[in-house]
Amino acid sequence: MNKLVIYIDLGLKDYKETWDYQEMLFKSIIATKIRNRREELTLETTNYLLFVEHPHVYTLGKSGDMGNLLIDEAQLEAKGATFYKINRGGDITYHGPGQIVGYPILDLDNFFTDIHKYLRFLEEVVILTLQEYGLKAERSEGETGVWLDVGTPFARKICAMGVRASRWVTMHGFALNVNADLGYFDLMIPCGIKDKAVTSLNVELGKKEVAMDEVKEKLLKHFSVLFEAEFIKEKTEA
């Protein structure tokens, strides 16, 4: 039987507002699990998948190096960007318009209790989606996310990834560059990796723009198959 996942497309939304919303959902799932254990109940936990685009923002993970952000506060403001230190793994990441950011907030007790498998499945969702556009996307050993031309001088990242998990509940997720302004990546050392480039789906396809909704549908399709999930689409925004 497929697991139910509530899917919410938040559109273009401020990073901090979305982070707060994630935290609320994340904590509500954990609270249910704690209550189940304490009171010997069997209340069902709810699973969510959020898709969102953010205004220009840089985020730094718990183990990140502040030196990987190459501009100061005044330059950030001039670029119309914001910056946050956050509670996911990984180093520095950029989010902005033209990028599909996916935040699965799942109780892995409903799926499988294996973080390694969870990360590989998220990567596979993106790999299979890009395959539909004729791109051979891959994992790069020792590096998170999804890449093109791995093992060559032309290796470039197209999807960043960083997650947090507690009591088998997940938050944060992946960021797939679809129509991203790649100039913003020049203002940081992406994920702390100095010798690798970053790319976007529209660049790889030689197009001005790729339909975001079409990419979202493909991501949902592959997520549904890999995670054996059935989506309940909600229009309500945070």
Is residue 137 marked as binding?
no
Marked catalytic residue, from 158, 191, 201, 220? 191
Under 8 Å between Cβ of 95 and 59 = yes
Q: Is 89 annotated as a binding residue?
A: yes
Please answer whether residues 149 and 156 qualify as being in contact, where contact means their C-beta atoms are separated by less than 8 angstroms.
yes
* CB-CB neighbours of 74 under 10 Å: 8
Phi, psi at residue 107, to the nearest 5°? Answer: -90, 105
Contact criterion met (CB below 8 Å) for 191 and 157: yes
- Tell me if 94 is assigned to a ligand binding site: yes
Residue 175 labelled as part of a binding site: yes
| Helix or strand (DSSP H, E) at 130 | helix 115-131
> Is 102 annotated as belonging to a binding site?
no
Catalytic residue flag (residue 159): no
Q: How many CA atoms lie within 13 A of 46 on its CB side?
A: 12
Q: Does 61 carry a binding-site annotation?
A: no
- For 90: left if phi > 0, alpha if psi spans -120 to 50, otherwise beta; the answer is left
Output the six-digit token pair for 15.
Answer: 């990073």
Under 8 Å between Cβ of 192 and 65 = yes
11 annotated ligand binder: no
72: Cα within 13 Å, side-chain hemisphere: 1
Task: For 146, list phi and psi in degrees, rounded to 5.
Answer: -125, 135
Cβ burial, residue 193 (10 Å; 0-12/13-18/19+):
middle
Determine if residue 42 is labeled as part of a ligand binding site.
no
Q: Is 170 annotated as a binding residue?
A: no
- Does 160 appear as a known binding residue? yes
Q: Is 92 annotated as a binding residue?
A: yes
Question: Rg for the chain (alpha carbons), in Å?
Answer: 18
Binding-site residues for substrate, in ranges, read 88-95, 160-162, 173-175
Q: Which residues are marked as active site?
A: 191
